[in-house]
Structure 1
Amino acid sequence: MILLLTTLIIGVPLWYFTTSVERATLPIDAITALNEQYLNNIKYEIPVRLVEIPDPLSGFIDETQDLLNEKLTNSNVRVKLFKNDYLGPDVDEKQVYDLKMIMSENEDKLLVSPYSDRLIKLFVSPDVIKHGLVSDLLSRILIENVFKSEINENNSSGTGSKTKNLIKFPFSTSYKVSINFLHSDNKMLSLPDGVLEKAVSNFKSFMNSLDSLTKFTVEFQELWYENRLITKDEYEKDGFTYIKDPSMFIDYSDWGLDQDVELDPVINLNLYLPDSEKLLIENTQRNSFIIPQWGGVVIVNDDETVDYNRLNEVFDIFAFQILKLIGVDTDPDRSIYYRIDELIRIQTVENLNNSLNNFKSLIKLINQLETIPIPLQSVDEINESIRYIQTSAAELAHLNWLAAYKHSTLALKLSNNAFFHEDMVQQAYFPEEHKMAVYSPLLGPFVTIVVMALVRGLKEVKSVCK
């Protein structure tokens, strides 16, 4: 009887508290409210300030704004016009596009500054002014030229029809760039002193222009290869080997290119120097190709002179490949600064949507698996992520997209940490059958002892009663 009472009073409560699953309370109401307000429905405005407006054109601004609003009624992206120097108290002047309209005797023309000043020059002909088409021209220029890609991208993401970019790396705030010179024993890259350093300096200047979007660390290494993989689609012509499908070009098993254990995603950029053959990638102008979510390759054949100019061309190709791999638009007719701004805003929206989707999936997961733990740390990370989402959305509303981007990256990081918490991931793959397999060897002898003690106790009570 003592054993039975000890089991019931001490053993059972002790077993319950030591084996019970921690399930902290998620802020479901706050998550639901955020999803209803923002998920796939994040709206923001692009600020455009009109400066030095000629007197004949001073009265068209309100009309243009109305026209922009009408054309973008179903878009999550709006264009907001500001007059001269007035921007409002919360708008960061460094993130505003300046548009200067210039009277022109010739045809209408658009010039977008290639520098970081974000200046747009629109030359307006007398015919446009005469027929009162200034507002129509300006609205079309902004929607169909300057911000066309961004407006189309966000419209697609809002309706759920966005095509996934299979080339782009998963989002990260930092990358490692590994530049590899691949050659055989007989063919090596030989450069005059200082040439490589100068070309690398130019390349790093390019990467510094992407600092507002992401950070890069760069390493160089010289690697030897023995043989390349021969593909079945190759053919010989005029002394060259033409490669139709470069997907099997890299020999990952022998060339030592996948040995990096860095936490940051690694972008591999490879200068390939063939030894005895001359290689051409079919249907390419610069004898290069991109491997999705991995890196790029540039081939320099034996008959080419590798000097400072040629090396600069190689690094220009590497720069193009980096832009493609991190998702920046590569349209050469548009300033790199505009394209970076565009991706920052697009990525901000994507980060916020991914954070909200993490919350949505997490709620669905814990509803389906009632035994899965909810650590208090995950709840704290979710609450902090929610605050960053709200801050990011507020910054977007105030037209400060750099601050919005920064907070959206923190929100995504915390939501990922909460969703992929190790305790939750482990329990998600620990079914109830496994628990029975653990308990059965223990419960069998224990239950036998308890039952025998109970029977003995009942006999003793029965004998006393007689």
Structure 2
Amino acid sequence: MTTEQGDQVSPQVSTSHANESTVKRPPPPETPAAVQTRFRVIAAFWVVIIFLGFPIWWKTTSIYRAHLPIEEMVDWADGKACRPVFPLEIHLATPSMQPIEAQYLLRTTQHTLDDLNEFAAHHLRLKLANDSATVSHNAENGMEGAINAEAQAPDTTLTVRLLAQEGLAAPRSELHAATTQLDVFYPPSQVPVPSSSNSPLSAFIAEELQRLYGEEKATIAHILSGHTGGLDSTSPQLAESISRRLRRSMKYAETYHLSFSLFTPGSEPSSWDIEAAVKEYLSPLLQAFEPISNFTVDTQVQLYANFAPTAPRPEYDEAESAWTLKKEDLSAFVNAAEWPLNPSIGNGPTINFILYVPDPSQSPLIVKENRASSWIVPQWGGVYLLNPTLSNAEQGGQSNPAHLSHDSLGPAFMTFSHQLLTLLGTPSTPASLPLRLQTSIRIRAATLLLSASSTMGSLARLTESLPSIPIPASVASSVSTTLSHLGATCSHLREGRFGAALASARVAETEAERSFFEKSMVGQVYFPDEHKVAVYLPLLGPVGVPLVVSLLKELKRIAAGRKARRAAAAA
């Protein structure tokens, strides 16, 4: 009995001891000093982060964005800031007319011109060449006033000299090819008088002026509006000619590099009078282009310059008694892989001119369709096939001359000069080269004005769409310079000072390109915000999580303590 009771009590005692051993004792309560220390440590970390770390990070990673006049830039791009106009001042010289007759002729001709003009941005303004008002103004203000008046005066585009000639049935005109002068010969009986309602002489002068500047007007309308269909007087042939010329011409640059290359498939010719040819045939033209662009010239001679392996070979034409190249094969004529032709030298584009002397066994070499010996490669350069006249000894030995003389280079360099005019976008009319160069100045000024304005609009849209890219002070300075010169260009155009307008437009285009292609801005365009997150997250994650969790625990402890004190106070 006793044993059974002992057996029954023993398990109960052992079970109670096991329960006591498995119960975990709570940790001792933190002392107020430990709690205060932990709070101070966490607070110290956050104070350093907020008042030291975050300002340093903000300062070192902040992006400087200089102020840009966005609205003004957009207005220039949209054409709201300036509507370019081209008033051409034409002087009438009337040595054989009375002042009253000359004034009446001026008024009637101007009225006829205004009626014929359908493009308001381009208009002709007539003025008597012996205007006494200008002379008296210069005399009153002295030499300094004369100089200032000349600087502020519009450019004289054309001088029309009216010459009476007996025996004429109707007026006729003669344009000087080397000057900006148009001679109009008229019968004395056609001198307009105030009592007449219409004047055949005025109508003739107006029609001649419209014809002289018809291509320029259509070209400027094409540039400003993007098409020539807005002018009813523009024929489809002229519109196609303008579009083809603009497609073939080089992009405008302040400096062009002209590279003249002599290529031959054999060892001769190995020399040429290039300096004399350039000086005689091209130097006058390059000097005339100085108000528009500058030029540098380099030359080279390449012997054993063969056709490309994939280029079609010339074919002999029995009817022409010559070797011929097809038009569709001209694009593969230049062996760009083996011929040393640099696409660009320095900052400006290169215009290549190739003088190719074929082998005597393939001479003469011409283009089959039009029997031409030259052609233009659009926006690149020109090629001329020189088939030298061989002497009897050279014909027997089947060899080219060892040296190309100045006279033999004449036709080639005359062709190169015409090709250069085409590649520079010079209009084909009128026949006077100075007038065509003046037209080029106005066309280039309009082109640069629109190009710089468009660049300003692109820069404004870029800075607004990408707020993370920096805008350095240099960009703001370039933008300010661009807008200033755009305004000057528009003002010069409005007042007829086209040379000054082109000079300002060149500065505006240069500064606009510099601001848009700023290196620091271009680099940030390809560094989006996702990349920044990918860089910061691995660094801040391991450090930020413990700090945030400890801060939340402290805030929770403080809230619980306040709640407990409120409950005790309520009890």
What's 1:296 paired with?
Answer: 382
- Paired residue type of 2:183: K
* 1:340-355 mapped onto 2 (5 Å cutoff): 340-355=437-452
The TM-score, its normalising length taken from structure 1, stands at 0.89
Deviations 1:289-321 (A, max 9, x none): 111221111111355685433311111111111
Question: 2:367 & 2:81 partners in 1: Cα distance?
Answer: 43
Question: 2:532 & 2:415 partners in 1: Cα distance?
Answer: 56
The SS at the match of 2:325 is strand
The SS at the match of 1:356 is helix
> How has the CA–CA distance of structure 1 residues 41 and 463 changed in structure 2, closer, same or farther, with 3 Å as cutoff?
closer
- Paired residue type of 2:293: T
* Corresponding residue to 2:181 among 111, 119, 136: 119
What's 2:347 paired with?
Answer: 263
1:228 aligns with 2:307: yes
* Corresponding residue to 2:426 among 317, 328, 349: 328
The SS at the match of 1:218 is strand
1:412 aligns with 2:509: yes
Question: 1:22 & 1:200 partners in 2: Cα distance?
Answer: 52
What's 1:54 paired with?
Answer: 96
* Corresponding residue to 1:45 among 87, 94, 99: 87
Question: 1:180 & 1:449 partners in 2: Cα distance?
Answer: 74
- Contact 1:24-1:375 at 8 Å conserved across structures: yes
What's 1:212 paired with?
Answer: 291
* 1:382-401 mapped onto 2 (5 Å cutoff): 382-401=479-498
What's 1:19 paired with?
Answer: 61
Question: 2:116 & 2:224 partners in 1: Cα distance?
Answer: 17
Larger mean CA deviation between 72-81 and 253-262 belongs to: 253-262
* 1:26-175 mapped onto 2 (5 Å cutoff): 26-34=68-76, 41-55=83-97, 57-58=101-102, 59-86=104-131, 89=149, 92=153, 95-104=156-165, 105-106=167-168, 107-116=170-179, 118-125=180-187, 132-144=199-211, 146-161=212-227, 163=243, 165-175=246-256
What's 1:243 paired with?
Answer: 326
What's 1:362 paired with?
Answer: 459
What's 2:236 paired with?
Answer: none
- Paired residue type of 2:279: S
Larger mean CA deviation between 33-42 and 22-31 belongs to: 33-42
Name the % identity: 23
What's 2:538 paired with?
Answer: 441
1:176 aligns with 2:257: yes
The SS at the match of 1:250 is coil
Question: 2:61 & 2:527 partners in 1: Cα distance?
Answer: 14
Question: 1:443 & 1:277 partners in 2: Cα distance?
Answer: 76
Question: 1:445 & 1:211 partners in 2: Cα distance?
Answer: 67
Question: 2:316 & 2:164 partners in 1: Cα distance?
Answer: 58
- Contact 2:157-2:438 at 8 Å conserved across structures: no
What's 2:267 paired with?
Answer: 186
* Structure 1 gaps, min length 5: none
- Contact 2:155-2:496 at 8 Å conserved across structures: no
Larger mean CA deviation between 31-40 and 103-112 belongs to: 31-40
| Structure 1 residue 396, shift from structure 2 partner | 2.0
* Structure 2 gaps, min length 5: 1-41, 135-148, 193-197, 229-242, 391-400, 565-571
The SS at the match of 2:545 is helix
| Structure 1 residue 351, shift from structure 2 partner | 1.0
What's 2:499 paired with?
Answer: 402
Equivalent pairs counted in the alignment come to: 460
- Paired residue type of 1:160: G
User: Which protein has the larger Cα radius of gyration, Structure 1 or Structure 2?
Assistant: 2
Deviations 1:405-453 (A, max 9, x none): 1011101111111122122222223222222232233233332343355
The TM-score, its normalising length taken from structure 2, stands at 0.74
Question: 1:265 & 1:391 partners in 2: Cα distance?
Answer: 27
The SS at the match of 1:60 is helix
Question: 1:260 & 1:32 partners in 2: Cα distance?
Answer: 33
- Contact 2:76-2:456 at 8 Å conserved across structures: no
> How has the CA–CA distance of structure 1 residues 93 and 383 changed in structure 2, closer, same or farther, with 3 Å as cutoff?
closer
Question: 1:418 & 1:204 partners in 2: Cα distance?
Answer: 35
